[in-house]
Amino acid sequence: MSQGAKRGCCSLPCNETGNSLADLGGSRAKEKRVQVSPPLTRGPSAFIPENEVMQANGLDERTNLLVEEYSTSGRLDNITQVMSIHTQYLESFLRSQFYMLRMDGPLPLPYRHYIAIMAAARHQCSYLINMHVDEFLKTGGIAEWLNGLEYIPQRLKNLNEINKLLAHRPWLITKEHIQKLVKTGENNWSLPELVHAVVLLAHYHALASFVFGSGINPERDPDTSNGVRLIAVNNFCVCDLANDNNIENASLTSSNFGIADSLSELEALMERMKRLQEDKEDEEASQEEMDTRFEKEKKESLLVISGAFDDEIVSTDVSRYIEDPGFGYKDFARRGEDHLPTFRAQDYTWENHGFSLVNRLYSDIGHLLDEKFRMVYNLTYNTMATHEDVDTTTLRRALFNYVHCMYGIRYDDYDYGEVNQLLERSLKVYIKTVTCYPERTTKRMYDSYWRQFKHSEKVHVNLLLMEARMQAELLYALRAITRHLT
């Protein structure tokens, strides 16, 4: 049980004069925040018009109650505002995040926020880094640690390898990585501590995908005259990429695609969904055919490229939290590399294996994560753009399973031919970018797919991508822990 993690007690140590470290941390937090440029658009998102976020069924009394109950920052931040478009999901999200950051658990509070910073830094997510720099200091974290990884305890440094692999190539995690972390010694991790750390790392890698995928703007700061922190421009601020030469995009989008085009695109998608449903009732594909379709989809995902970003520059204020900044996502199914076995979901599932292991070592988090995964997977309003009474199950499943396919996870009973029929190329580019290298996401990519769909439906897509990614990372890490235990 961590000191001061229990709800309702003060977790802030005080100095001799009686001031809490939160007061002292205020000025330090400003010094340590990662540099960001001001947003080019108003509102919580650079992609979604402000009035659409406000009008969507969120920001009502229910949302305010949830924020009061479960907010870790004590206010309605931009992520929460955008997620509140789907209030049911928001509740699951806030409850699980609150549990891992605030409630009793194996790790001390400052460790939790520092691990969040380390995870967010892998994707240069200044939004999340800044949020947790503030929280780290408020919960009594040592300000010197914010100077970079060389200032932190060795046992936290030891998480660098698993952080890097989980964020970019989780299929490389083995039981040897686990054994190295838990082996006896003064810097070892207990298994419950390690599971808590892994859950936090996976949560914040995935949340970075949501931040970039939804164009979340930096928070407005009440301490400045125009409400936005004006510090020197950071190479990879959410908004620099999110706005992606806004004017050029607007003309590009409108000139290339008329309303008629996007309407016919919508009708064609609905027709394909209907046909898939009918084919399923008529005939079952053989197992051999299913195998072939998965391999085809896995190889085709290699051809989905999201721009040339060979030598990305990581700003110094982010790089202080990263070891090996050049390490990034590489396709699971790279040409000429057949030695990586596909992760057969039937052999190690979340429901039958991951859930019980995580719950045993870090009580109750399994239930909260399970509820969140189920919530997003089953969430539907039975609408598609302007159409009502639509069964969107096949579409939601294709989105979730495509993410897992890129991570080398395969469901024997799923026909991957559905992915190719339901997800057009521009959507695949968007999915791959948001999931594998979210810091490259642009407004152009967001605008380029499903042009007739509502913003709320695109936010739902981002929630699905985020949870599919988190579950994929957890499956690889928990399988390695299971192998260590057996």
Bridge partner residues of 156 (DSSP): none
The span from the CA of 208 to the CA of 213, in Å, is 8
Pairing status of strand 409-410 against strand 383-384: unpaired
**DSSP per residue, 256-311:** H--HHHHHHHHHHHHHHHHHHHHHHHH-PPPHHHHHHHHHHHHHHHHH------SS
Contacts of 295 (CB under 8 A, 6+ apart): none
Q: Specify burial of residue 431 (Cβ count, 10 A radius: 0-12, 13-18, 19+).
A: buried
The span from the CA of 243 to the CA of 233, in Å, is 14
Distance of CA 23 to CAs 15, 83, 127, 246, Å?
10, 30, 22, 39
Could you identify the residue written with the tokens 């309303």?
A: 259
Distance of CA 242 to CAs 38, 211, 216, 237, 304, Å?
12, 10, 8, 8, 20
Contact 228, 120 (CB under 8 A): no
14 is catalytic: no
Q: What are phi and psi of 8, to 5 degrees?
A: 95, -10
Q: What's the token pair of residue 121?
A: 């830094």
* Selected catalytic residue, list 10, 125, 405, 436: 125
Of residues 165, 228, 174, 244, the one with CA closest to residue 201:
165
Pairing status of strand 409-410 against strand 343-344: parallel
Q: What's the token pair of residue 315?
A: 């700003």
Q: What is the DSSP letter of 76?
A: -
Q: How many CA atoms lie within 13 A of 235 on its CB side?
A: 13
Q: Residue 188's Cα: distance from chain center in Å? A: 28
Catalytic residues: 125
